[in-house]
Amino acid sequence: MIKKTMLALGIFTLLFPVAAFAEDPSAATLNMGLNSLWVMLSFILVLLMQGGFILLETGSTRMKNAGHVAGKTIFTTGLAALIYWAIGYGIAFGGDSSVNALFGWGDFLFNPAVAAGEGDSLPGTVFFLFQLAFAAVSLSIAWGGFAERAKLSSYIVFTLFFIAIIYPTVAHWIWGGGWLAEDGAQDFAGSTVVHLTGAIAAFAATVLLKPRIGKFNKDGSANEILGHNQVFTALSVLLLWVGWFGFNAGSTVAIGDGFFGYVAFNTMLGAGAGGVAALLISWAVTGKADITTMLNGTLAGLVAITASCAFVDPWAAVVIGLVAGVLVFYSVKFFEKIKVDDPIFALSVHGMAGIWGTLANGIFATTALADKVGIGQGGLIDTGSWKQLWVQFESVVVCGAFVLAASFLVLGIMKLVMGFRVTEEQEIIGLDLSEHGAYGYPEQMKKGQSI
């Protein structure tokens, strides 16, 4: 009976939509409402990616650091929220400053309107949350370079600088109306802004920290320090993959004509291609189909397609993903060869794939889609012009150089002033115990102290 009533009501609303509401909302209000819902949902998805990072980082590292690695992600996400609210958002998206090309100024201690204003496509609150989630993702990528040997205090101090200045500056340049945006740099959801920025901070950190004890032998050969739980790592990739639909498709920040579906569609293709290519290349080259490489490849596909998902044809999304999968495999080898310890493969997955994804726009972007999004122009294949590729190249180099310099400066001073790395004893005993006083896996760790 109830079912029937509901059904009848449903049909009634469909037939006479207007009649179902007491007051007629305008089309603009409806549109705003739908946009808000979509972006809010995307924020939730992107925030949930932190769960992915928790599992990714713990799964890829050793048991003795599990509690620390997992816990600090939650802590720094919370800290990032406060700092982004107080400072970061104002630098990235705050009102015009006299040097607007370089950074924004205003909206510090952001105090948004409680509802969307007239003509707004969505409330500022929702936009803030969505942007905050991106900043937090970039931060969690940077932690990859800190893993298993940085002091807890260094996490706190670096969060402050990264979320207040480093990340927002790059975000402003490309998304906040800064000088690269003026140039038409295409980075739809943040291959450069989020992933490359995080990865370069991770690079600076891992170089300053130096490799973990036992990673490299005297003769320069590398040892494999296996993560303690591959199931965590695989689950993390699934979580991130799902979250990425908020990340990429949500970056339309509007429902509009359903373009977000196309963005999601390309995202899916890129991810699949990345994982497939990585597994096959590792199988072909090393004789073993390596799971870690495959997982990295899937993420690399996602990272790479992030910049280009709104600008390219589906076939190009597949190509971008395939290249990313192969790239990540060789990149991991490269970093090992130059003796840079990259415990979570952040430099390869987010850095190299981020660079590739951003450059890929300059090759594969189509004029039609560039016009639709309204940023830049078509790439080399569609237009025969090198212009977009040059712009993409410029944005990668400039953002990369800025983040590299800023991160080295901040972390270098931290290293001098407060110390960056835990002592050898603390590292061997594990950060769970040294930084927090309790193991993440108490039963297991009591037995095998040597792990």
Partner 1 sequence: MDDPVRMQLLKQINSVDHIEGLRSLRDQVHEHMEALLPTRPVEQFNEQLNEVHDAVIQRAVVLAEAQMARLGKGSPPVPYAYLLFGSGGRKEQTLSSDQDSGIVYEDPVSDPAETQQYFTELSDCIVSILQTTGYPLCEGNVLSSNPDWCLSLTEWSGKLDRWFEEPAWESVRYLLIIADCRCVYGDSRLVDELKDFFFTDMLNHPIILKRMLDNTLRHKVLLGFFGQLLKEQYGEDTGSLDIKYGAYIPMVNSIRLLSVQNGIRETATLDRINRLVKIGQLTEAEGKVYARAFRLFLRLRLMTTEQRDGGLYANNGKLSSRKLTKELTGELKSSLRLGKKLQRAVFKQTMGRLK
Q: Footprint of partner 1 on this chain (CB under 8 A)?
A: 217, 219, 221-224, 283-287
Q: Smallest distance from the beta carbon of 316 to partner 1, in angstroms?
A: 26
Query: Distances from the Cα of 25 to the Cαs of 20, 29, 116, 119, 256, in angstroms?
Result: 11, 6, 14, 14, 17
Length of the chain, in residues? 451
Residue 24 sits at φ, ψ, to 5 deg, of -75, 115
Residue 31 CB, nearest approach to partner 1 (Å): 53
Euclidean distance between CA atoms 139 and 132, whole angstroms = 11
CB atoms within 10 A of CB 209: 22
- Specify the residue, 118 or 219, whose C-beta has the smaller distance to partner 1: 219
Neighbours of 301 (CB within 10 A): 37
In the complex, least distance from residue 299 CB atom to partner 1, rounded to whole angstroms:
21
Dihedral angle over CA of 110, 182, 135, 298, nearest 10: 150
Phi/psi of residue 413, nearest 5 degrees: -65, -40
At 123, the amino acid letter reads P
- Give the residue with the Cβ less far from partner 1, 5 or 217: 217
Nearest residue (CB) to partner 1, 42 versus 296: 296
Residue 289: CB minimum distance to partner 1, A: 11
Rounded Cα gap, residues 420 and 309, in angstroms: 38
Is residue 81 within 8 A of residue 136, CB to CB? The reply is yes
What are the distances in angstroms from CA 435 to CA 88, 422, 431? 28, 9, 5
Give the residue with the Cβ less far from partner 1, 279 or 422.
279
Pick 23 or 224: Cβ nearer partner 1: 224
- Tell how far CA 448 is from the center of its chain: 35
User: Under a CB-based contact definition with an 8 Å cutoff, are residues 150 and 420 in contact?
Assistant: yes
Least Cβ distance, residue 287 to partner 1 (angstroms) = 4
Q: Which of 324, 404, 419 is nearest to 142 (CA)?
A: 404
DSSP for 263-318, please give it. Answer: HHHHHHHHHHHHHHHHHHHHHHHHSS--HHHHHHHHHHHHHHHHHHTTTS-HHHHH
Query: In terms of CB distance, is 222 or 373 closer to partner 1?
Result: 222
Sole residue written with tokens 């500056």: 169
Dist CA 91 CA 192 (whole Å): 18
Dist. CA 112–CA 325, nearest whole Å: 42
β-sheet bridge partners, residue 222: 216
CB of 341 to partner 1, least distance (A): 13
Closest distance to partner 1 from the beta carbon of 222 (Å) = 6
Min dist CB 217 to partner 1, Å, is: 6
Minimum CB separation of residue 114 from partner 1 in Å reads: 57
Cα distance between residue 75 and residue 196, in whole Å: 23
The tokens describing 36, both together, are 């808000």
CA quadruple 11, 16, 17, 23: dihedral positive or negative? Answer: negative
Pair 104, 95: CB distance under 8 Å: yes
Q: Which is nearer to partner 1, 284 or 401 (CB)?
A: 284
Supply the minimum distance, in Å, between the C-beta of residue 149 and partner 1: 19
The CB-of-449 to partner 1 minimum distance in angstroms stands at: 23
